[in-house]
Structure formats: structure tokens, C-alpha cells
Structure 1
């Protein structure tokens, strides 16, 4: 059997897979299946270690296999609350296999759990583009825009509160406060105007 071409240099090949490449592929398919079953046992620490060892040995030219290993290790890390590490693994899996919906779903869930709602929405949109039948992604695309809007409003209020505190600190030596400055928003343009008020208490 002729050697199979490999697009990447890896531990077991330098431009080409060995003549028994088919057996090697079958070996890794079986190994990944066994690892997946082992990962469902509930011992997530051992599962993470097993996937890490497999990634060290799996030829880099086996991109689909490595994407599965990264995604499965992400699941094991997710169960251990290692969210950022799990996100990193999902990203590596997606980089190797951009159409890997399970890895995209997993990363979207992790983004939500870490309050990265914009990133989560982008992943859910990407999933729907690939498979419109995914109910979880469709539901998230309807739910997240409102959550993002509410979060942005909350952050804006927090920012204005901090600016008000800072303004009072600066104005206090001059006998003024932010109450002397009325901020009004133009509903048509969204822009703000500031008016000075000499005696704000008299205007209440």
C-alpha cells in the first residue's frame, strides 16, 4: 500500500504517514472510543489526564481525532469547573474542525457560564448557520440579545455612578457637586447635553 500524504509534520511522520497508516488510523479511532467511554465513568480527573496523554501521542496530522480529544478533555475540565481551560480546549477543537458542532455548543455554554454573552451569541449563531435544527442554539439566539442589552444598561449605570462619585470628589473643594450639572439625553439621537444649575435643590 502506498504511503498516505500528510499535510503536517507530526511525531510519527515527516511529510508522509507510514505504509500501515490505515492500521494507525483504526488504532486511534478505537482508542478515542475507549477514552470516551472511560470519560463517562465520572472520574473526570483521570479522564482529563487520559485525554492529555492521548493528545501527546496522537499524530498532529490526525486533525479530526485531535479535535475530538480536545473537545472531550474540555468536557472533563468543565465538570471540574476549569472553565477557562475548557474554553481553550474547545477553541483548539474548533480550529482543527470548524464544523464541529458539539465543540461549538460546549464553548457557547462555557461562554455563558463565564458571562461572555457576546461570544456565546456568536457561537450559537455559527451553530445555526451550520445546522438550523439545533434547538438549544435557536433558543439562545432569541434569549441572549435581551440579556446582553440588560447587561450593557447595568454596566452603563455602574459607570455613570462611578463618574458621579469622581465628579463629587473633584467639585467638593469648589462648593459644588454633580447635582449642579443636569445631564439630559436626546431621545432622537441618544446624545447627552449638560446644563449648569446654580441651586439644584430649588428645582426639585
Structure 2
């Protein structure tokens, strides 16, 4: 598909909330780059546990002892949360490093090796909102690696995963549409181009691609219809042959007044 004319090495992923203009500019390169990840991730607030007004002094003392056992001296829940966040940020940085190594290998034409680095980044990246970007980039970059290797089904799978993380990822839509066209999935390729136009109505390349693919899709539909009719005839002949007949003995006749059809039998 003529939609991608030049492969580059880095991009900033379009976030679903960004404007169509930003999404369009981010679709100009091939292998994507990393931007600073957000630190914002949701944490559950602690629930305060109050004792009932009718609790005895002994019950309250038992509760206090239980809390001391649950939180021994020197243990601070806020410190644990901070440590956990540091580990996640460290893992995110390592995932980004692996992604950058994959980009370099891709640039050197080592697509199989680049695939391994992107997969490593996906395994390392923590499951948190600020890692969505690097994960979507790695899936999309794996898609373009598979494209270079001629593995178009795998390209579709990886780009779909990238779009599940970031539905407004224009480059993944372009790559998936191109892979669909390579496999002669013209209807699916047109659907991806239409999604691009929903995000970026000014995308003339997507509009031209739709015009180019629509006659191919219509031709394929007609071919599939003829093949289906041929199979039905073959099945009918196998059944009617037992009675010395074939589907050719039956003819559909259109009523010129009503436009309906009737079946007539001919010997």
C-alpha cells in the first residue's frame, strides 16, 4: 500500500486525548521514540477503622496490639509505597532502554534482533498508566518489523495490540491497513483508512487510499459471490444427480410487473 513512503526511527505516540493535528504530525516517522512518562498513577486511599462506642477497654487494647503486630516498629507504609514506585520507574526506564536498543537494531536492518529487544521491553515495562506509551510503541514497532519480514498477519496482531493501548495511534492504523492490503483484506484496509479520517479529517493520503481500494474490494466481493454460487451449484448437482437432474433444469424467471422471481423446471 502506498501510504507509507519513508521509514524513520523515532516518534512521539499520539495520546487519545491529543488533537487530530498532533496525531497527524506524529505519523511521519517509522520507528517510534520515547517521551517522558507521567508519574500519575492511581493509588487506593487507606480506610480508617474506628472502634465501636460500646467496645470495652480490653477490646480496644487487643486492636492496638494487633495493629502493632501488623505494622512493626520501623515499618512505614508510605516508605513502602515510595519504594514500590521507585522500582516501577526503574523498570520503566529499563524498558525504554530496551526499546531504544531495538530502534538501533531496526535502523541497522536487523529486524529479528529488534523484535527480541521490543519483546524484552514489553516484558520489563510495569503495568501502570505511565508505561502505556512505551508498550504501545513497542507493539507498533514489532508490527513494522514483521512488515519488513513479510509476516503481515503478525503485523496486524501487533498493531491491534498497540491500538488497544492507544486507539488514536495513527501510525499503527497505517501499518495495519497496509498489512491488510498486502493480504488482499481490502474491506479491513478501507476500515482502517476511515478510522484515520475520523481522527484526522485532513489526511488526504487515507482518502486517496480509500478511493483506490474500493474498486478492488468490489471486485473481490463479486469474485467471492461467483465462487459461492459455483459451490452451491456443485452441491445441488450432487444431490439432484441421484434423480437424473441438475441445477440447470431449474431457471429463475423474473416477473416484469412485480420484480419477483419464480423457479421454473425445464427438461
TM-score tier (shorter): 0.7 to 0.9
Question: Paired residue for 2:153, among 74, 84, 94?
Answer: 84
How far, CA to CA, are the matches of 2:266 and 2:177 in structure 1?
Answer: 49
Match for residue 179 of structure 2?
A: 110
- Work out which of the two has the higher radius of gyration on C-alpha atoms and give 1 or 2: 2
TM-score by length of 2: 0.62
Change over 3 Å in CA distance of 1:21–1:176 after alignment to 2: closer
How far apart are residue 115 of structure 1 and its match? 2.5
How far apart are residue 63 of structure 1 and its match? 0.2
Which protein has the bigger helix share?
1
Given that residues 67 and 93 in structure 1 are in contact (C-alpha distance below 8 angstroms), is that contact kept between their aligned partners in structure 2? yes
Match for residue 58 of structure 1?
A: 125
How far, CA to CA, are the matches of 2:257 and 2:169 in structure 1?
Answer: 44
Answer yes or no: is 1:44 the counterpart of 2:76.
no
Aligned-residue RMSD, C-alpha = 3.3
Question: For structure 1, which runs of at least 5 residues remain unmatched after alignment?
Answer: 199-204
Aligned with 2:127: secondary structure? coil
Question: Paired residue for 1:136, among 186, 205, 212?
Answer: 205
Alignment size in residue pairs: 192
Aligned counterparts, 1:168-183, within 5 A: 168-183=237-252
Aligned with 2:85: secondary structure? coil
Aligned with 1:183: secondary structure? strand
How far, CA to CA, are the matches of 1:173 and 1:66 in structure 2?
Answer: 61
Residue by residue, what CA displacement relative to the aligned partner does 1:19-65 show, whole Å, maximum 9, x if unpaired? 59778766655653443232121111111111111111122321011
Change over 3 Å in CA distance of 1:193–1:39 after alignment to 2: farther
TM-score by length of 1: 0.79
Match for residue 141 of structure 2?
A: 72
